[in-house]
Amino acid sequence: MPGQTREVVVGLDNGGTAINATVLDRAGRFLVDRLVETPSRVGEGPAVAIGALSEALAGVLRLTGVPRAAVKTVGLDTPGPASADGVISTRGAVNFADPAWRGFDVRGALETRLGLPVIYSNDANAAALYAHHVHFGPEAARRSSVALIVGTGLGGGVVESGRVVRGAAGMAGEFGHIQIPMEGLLAPGQPTPVCNCGLAADGESVASLTGIEKNLLPYWLTRFPGHPLHALGSARRAAIQVRGHAAAGDQLSLEIFRQQAIALGRLFTIAANFTDPDAYFLGGGVVETTPSFRDWFLATVSENTDLRAEQRPLATFALVPDLDMAGARGAALAGAAALGWLPAAG
Ligand SMILES: [Zn+2]
């Protein structure tokens, strides 16, 4: 069809192993309703990985029958840490281990390769933006939200009036590295958790896979001497299995997730006093589990979020939807926002 419906934004979610691609048209419709994944090849360094992103774009256009001339901009997201403009941290990043990635301008390199404008988001901000727009729909521009994404680390995003709050250096919404009170969270005698960033008792030191592996699981195993997770021999493998055990009702694993839920609630309490959002979203691997465990976890996070009497009836707690596609879709929405395609606040 001619005219504005042929104008699209391509969203590319560049992960540690895979690229997920999507296409968003000017009417706000996603033209693919499933995962469109190709290998990201980030382990082979930036030159190979930029080529893989270019191929992913071509592939999703072929799949949807959209001509390249219809692409007005590209939304790109990657895991952090990276600057607001998509320059990977000079200190390196977990998902970008090759030394050539340090200080690499992934946004600029893709823009040069494609000859198209590229709008960069970090992956947690992209997921936050997608959750916000799915939840609020036409109301998105008049609402605010915060999102916490629990994975290997703890990512976060703040959305105000339908737009991601990026901050001066692109580091707004880094809830993972806000310190929280440990009183009433830790068991008597439990060591204070420490984060990879060097801080003690911050959000990520508790509410992340890394936090389970380094802080929570080593303590709780001492309290459950006969537990089957002792036999695994690898702390990382054991940490990964905690979620499955928790969903099956295992006591040790539920203690770990109860501590994570308290930490997440305390971070949401900070948000409640800071931007007082309409919605609190929770995403990441932690919610990819059985419905009953997910519901318990979200309810426990909500119970540990200290809202005022005026706030509680207005606040919504919800999960980030379509988790596998949230990054690509959120990156595409950020591209659409840059083009002025999203409705503005009235
Ligand atoms: Zn930290």
Q: pLDDT tens, 187-216?
A: 999 999 999 889 999 999 999 999 999 999
Residue 284 CA to ligand 1 center (angstroms) comes to: 17
**What does 179-208 look like in DSSP terms, one character per residue?**
B---TTTSPTTPPPPB-TTS-BSBHHHHSS
In the DSSP assignment, the letter for residue 343 is: P
Q: Which two tokens stand for residue 304?
A: 């540990």
Q: How confident is the model at residue 233 (pLDDT cuts 50, 70, 90)?
A: confident
Residue 211 CA to ligand 1 center (angstroms) comes to: 10
Residue 133 CA to ligand 1 center (angstroms) comes to: 28
Question: Is 90 exceeded by the pLDDT of residue 286?
Answer: no
Residue 194 CA to ligand 1 center (angstroms) comes to: 8
**Would you state the pLDDT for residue 342?**
85
Residue 195 CA to ligand 1 center (angstroms) comes to: 5
Average pLDDT over every residue of 259-281: 98
Residue 153 CA to ligand 1 center (angstroms) comes to: 9
Residue 196 CA to ligand 1 center (angstroms) comes to: 6
Question: Is 50 exceeded by the pLDDT of residue 133?
Answer: yes
Q: Half-sphere exposure of 340 toward its Cβ, with a 13 Å CA cutoff?
A: 0
| C-alpha to C-alpha distance for 20 and 1, rounded to whole angstroms | 26
Of 99, 32, 33, nearest in space to 59 by CA: 32
